[in-house]
Amino acid sequence: MRPVVPVALALLGAALGPAAAAERPVVVELFTSQSCSSCPPAEALIGRLAHEGGAVLPLAFHVTYWNHLNWRDPYALTEATARQDAYAARLGGPSYTPQAVIDGTVGLVGSDEAALRDAVARARAAGPAIPVALARQGDRLDVRVGPGTGAARVLLVGFDPSHTTRVLRGENAGRTLEQANVVRAIHDLGRWSGGAATFAAARPAGDAAAVLLQAEDGRILGAARLDQDGSRREALR
C-alpha cells in the first residue's frame, strides 16, 4: 500500500488538538501464547493496562512456536513470531514468552508488573514527539503523520479488545483464559521520511485498530488507536 498526497500542516494541526497531545501512549507489546503456562499473569496485566486509559497502548502478539504442542493457539500469527525475532536481534537474547517490549526499546518479562510500569514511566518521559492520527473513512482507514526528523515505517495493527478461550489441552489445559487486545493482523503501509503525510488502507482484521510509527532501530516514534465505535485516540509520542 502506497502513501498518498501529503496533507497540509494546518489540517494535521486541527486534527491533533490539546487533548490529543496530552495522551502520548506508550506502546507495550506482549509476546504470548495460549500454550504457555507462564503467560496468563502477563495477559492479565495487559488487560489491566487496557482499562487504564489512553496513556498506554497494550498489544498482545500471539506467537507460533508453541503450536508444536497439542494445543494450537487460534490467534497465533507468523508475523508476531517474526516481529519478536526482530526484537531479539536488536535487543539481544532469545525470544521467549511472556516477553514485553516497551516502545520498541526495552525488553523484559511480561509478568513483572513493577519493572514494566517503571519502563512505561521512563518511556513516557522520553521525546521527541511525532504526531500521528488514525480515522475511519467508510470501509477504509486514513493515517496521518506529522512532520519530524528521521524516518520510520507506518504499521497498521488490527486487534480484538477481548477474547475468552477455554483451553482443552497443553500446559493450560482446563483453564479459561481472558485475553485483551489480541493482535489479528499487522500491515506495513509504507515509509515516513520526516514530512507530513497521509496513508490510506483497508480496515485490517480485528474489531479495533492502531497505527505505530516505528524507526529502523525499533523505536516507536508515534502511535494512535481507533476503537470499535470508530472514535479516535490521537496522540503524540
Q: Please report, for the chain, the start and end positions of each structural domain, with discontinuous segments joined by +.
A: 3-236
For residue 14, the surrounding DSSP H or E stretch is helix 9-15
3-state SS assignment for residue 51: coil
Q: What is the pLDDT of residue 23?
A: 60
Least confident piece of the model among 147-161, 173-187, 223-237: 223-237
Summarize pLDDT for 171-219 with one digit per residue, the tens.
Answer: 999 999 999 999 999 999 999 999 999 999 999 999 999 999 999 999 9
Q: Which CATH class is domain 3-236?
A: alpha beta
Q: Is the pLDDT of residue 136 over 60?
A: yes
pTM greater than the 0.85 cutoff: yes
Q: What is the pLDDT of residue 126?
A: 84
Cβ within 8 Å of residue 176, ≥6 positions away: 164, 165, 166, 167
Q: State how far Cα 47 lies from the chain centre.
A: 14
Summarize pLDDT for 46-88 with one digit per residue, the tens.
Answer: 999 999 988 999 999 999 999 988 899 999 999 999 999 999 9
Task: Please provide the average confidence, as pLDDT, over all residues in the chain.
Answer: 88
